[in-house]
Structure 1
Amino acid sequence: MNLSVVILNYNVRYFLEQCIKSVERATKNIEAEIIVIDNNSQDDSCAMVKKLFPQVTLIENKENVGFSKANNQAVAVAKGRYICILNPDTAVGENTFLDCLHFAEVKEDLGAIGVYLLDGTGNFLPESKRNLPTPQVSFLKLLGFGRHYYARKIGETSKGKVDVLVGAFMFLKKSVYDEVLGFDEDYFMYGEDIDLSYKITQAGYQNYYLGTTSVLHYKGESTQKDALYLERFYGAMSIFYRKHFSSSGVLNSLVNIGVSVAKKVKGKKRSVPSETSVVLENTVVLTENFSLLKKLSESMERPLKASSKAIFQDSIIRNTLFIFDAEYMPYAQIFQVMKQLKNRNNQFRICPPKSNFILGSDQSDEKGSVTVF
């Protein structure tokens, strides 16, 4: 088998359904398997997988064992030569895995591959490619100065070597994953991807960023940024620093101070709810399915109009809610449109293939939106 796609789920049933459907489409011409491992979700995620995707390998944990341990459990039973660690709040383009496989086959020093991640607003997520968080870089990042944290020397749509990739999408050989002992289980959530990226380069391999293929990552859906999130995120940064850069008591103290200050500052910022001032003037459904249009019209309290892809010939479209029918438009094309129409007071929703819901996210740090019809 060529590829095992590992998806760790926790209470994101609708996003998981879209993720699996996009993966199935992207692995149509690849000898591949999908493994979903669930960390004791309290929604009907597992029931949904059993009903809609009986061919998917489902592992049901009876407790939330965290990101690292759960992914290691799934990789242990994976049969693919390559594995892809994938968040459930993602959707992959039709050629994403083929692009990664073709790129991987010509890189003898291949560690892991990361790709262009865009959020629900169509904007690029800079964590797609990062520099190594040395003590100085980490300290400045914790205080809000992240200029050297991200790998800006590589263009968003370019290819190149990077130090650190994000755990929402990591594509690598299973043999490399096993060699570096996978994710470090000292991390419960957050920081594992930094640690794994670093272990890969320390083992003599090279991580690559592949900006020519895109993956949608809603980001805010898997985890809400509450006090527990802040504790885990900055705690993970401290673990990574102590494990790999613990050479000076003074530097240790500085980073610990930075972590404490950052937690307080971030916590205060999060106490003020974010607001959007977008006034939507139109709602456009990209579909040829009039049954879908009728169902959406009945469930949404706004006038809808169907449109073909020709609408995008208009160079300036603003203040519009776009609903994409993924049966009508491939995911890769949807991503391109989202990039094209971003930052114009537009919002985006996707109806996955053969589904009775639409989903999206209007801010990369907020919980996503699901409308069932």
Structure 2
Amino acid sequence: MKLSVVILNYNVRFFLEQCIRSVQSAITTIDAEIIVIDNDSSDDSCLMVKTIFPEILLIENKENVGFSKANNQAVKVANGEYVCILNPDTAVSEHTFISSLKYAETINNLGALGVCLMDGTGAFLPESKRNLPTPKASLLKLLGVGKNYYANHIDKNKRGEVDILVGAFMLLKRTVYNEVNGFDEDYFMYGEDIDFSYKLKKAGYRNHYMGDVTVLHYKGESTQKDKAYFDRFYGAMKIFYSKHFHTNIFFNGFVNIGVSIAKATNRASSSKNNSENNTTKKTFLLTENLTLLKTISSTIETPIKSVSKSIFAYKTFSNNHFIFDSNYMPYDQIFRVMKDLNGKENTFRIHPPNCNFIIGSDQSDQKGTVTVFS
């Protein structure tokens, strides 16, 4: 078997369904398997997988064991030459794995391979490629003034070697994963991907970024920055530096002060929701399915115009709301349109293939929204 796609889920049932369906479309010509591991979700994620995707291997944990331990569990039963660690709140294009595997085969001593991640607005997520997070760089980043945290020496659309990749999408050989003992289970949340990337580098492997392949990642790095976030982030920093750097009481005190400042400066904005009301926008549905048009129109009760994807060849759009029917427009085309229209106050929703909902996000610090058809 060539590829095992490992998806760790926790309470994102609809995002998980879209993720699985997009992966299935992307592995039709690859000898591959999908493994879903669930960290004791309280929603009906597991029931959905067992009902809709009975052929998929589902591992149901009875408690939330965290990111590292769960992914390690899944990789232990994987059969692929390569494994891809994939977040459930992602969607891949039809060519994602074909292109990634082809590129991976050309790299000597490949560690992990990452791709260009964009959020639900079509904006590039800079955590797709990062430099080694030295204590100084991480602290400045936490305070919002760092410039060297991200790997800006490589254009977001280009390819090249980087230090650190993000755990939302990591593709690598299973033998390499096992050689470095997978993700460090001392981490529960945050920091696992940084530690893993660095372990690969220390073992003599080269991490690479592939900017010409785009993956949609609804919830970006900028999760809601409340007290719990900073406490977890700081805890992950302490674990990472204690394992890989020389620290002392003065360094720990300095970082502690920085985290306290970051908590104070971000508290005011942590609960603010800037998501715009999409009912004020013109809404376009990209489809040829008139039944879908009728269903969505009756569900969201706003005027919707059904249009052809050819409209993007003739004009640019701003302050509009677009709903993409993925049975009409493949994910690869949807991603290109979202990137092209990013920054122009447009918002986007996707109707995944054979689903009874539309899904999307208007900002990368939230999980997004789901509208289920009645």
Which band: TM-score by shorter chain? over 0.9
How big is each residue's C-alpha offset from its partner over 1:291-342, in whole Å with a ceiling of 9 and x where there is no partner? 1111001101211111111110133211111000000011011000001111
Identify the residue that residue 107 of structure 1 maps to in structure 2. Answer: 107
Change (3 A) 1:131 1:370: same
Identify the residue that residue 274 of structure 2 maps to in structure 1. Answer: 274
Q: Indicate the SS of the match to 1:113.
A: strand
Gaps of 5+ in 1: none
Tell me the distance in 2 between the aligned counterparts of 1:241 and 1:62.
31
Deviation at 1:100, TM superposition (A): 1.0
Count of aligned positions: 373
Q: Indicate the SS of the match to 1:120.
A: coil
Q: Is the 8 A contact 1:280 1:321 kept in 2?
A: no
Change (3 A) 1:136 1:161: same
Q: Is the 8 A contact 1:278 1:345 kept in 2?
A: no
Change (3 A) 1:30 1:354: same
Change (3 A) 1:224 1:178: same
Q: Do structure 1's residue 86 and structure 2's residue 69 form an aligned pair?
A: no
Tell me the distance in 2 between the aligned counterparts of 1:152 and 1:364.
20
Q: Is the 8 A contact 2:119 2:219 kept in 1?
A: yes
- Please give the residue correspondences for 1:1-373 in structure 2 after superposition, counting only pairs within 5 Å: 1-219=1-219, 225-274=225-274, 276=276, 280-373=280-373
Q: Is the 8 A contact 1:283 1:323 kept in 2?
A: yes
Tell me the distance in 1 between the aligned counterparts of 2:157 and 2:34.
28
Deviation at 1:222, TM superposition (A): 11
Tell me the distance in 1 between the aligned counterparts of 2:15 and 2:69.
22
Deviation at 1:282, TM superposition (A): 1.1
How big is each residue's C-alpha offset from its partner over 1:344-363, in whole Å with a ceiling of 9 and x where there is no partner? 11100000001110000000
- Which range moved further: 274-283 or 169-178? 274-283
Q: Indicate the SS of the match to 1:78.
A: coil
Tell me the distance in 2 between the aligned counterparts of 1:265 and 1:51.
46
Q: Is the 8 A contact 2:125 2:221 kept in 1?
A: no
Q: Indicate the SS of the match to 1:35.
A: strand
**Letter of the 2:79 counterpart:** K
How big is each residue's C-alpha offset from its partner over 1:200-220, in whole Å with a ceiling of 9 and x where there is no partner? 000000000000100000016
Tell me the distance in 1 between the aligned counterparts of 2:49 and 2:277.
37
How big is each residue's C-alpha offset from its partner over 1:65-119, in whole Å with a ceiling of 9 and x where there is no partner? 1111111110111111100000000000111111111111111110000000010
Change (3 A) 1:222 1:127: closer
Change (3 A) 1:99 1:12: same
Deviation at 1:45, TM superposition (A): 0.3
**Letter of the 2:345 counterpart:** N
Change (3 A) 1:164 1:222: closer
Change (3 A) 1:89 1:221: farther
Tell me the distance in 2 between the aligned counterparts of 1:226 and 1:47.
32
TM-score w.r.t. length of structure 1? 0.96
Gaps of 5+ in 2: none
How big is each residue's C-alpha offset from its partner over 1:148-170, in whole Å with a ceiling of 9 and x where there is no partner? 00000100100000000000000
Q: Is the 8 A contact 1:86 1:168 kept in 2?
A: yes
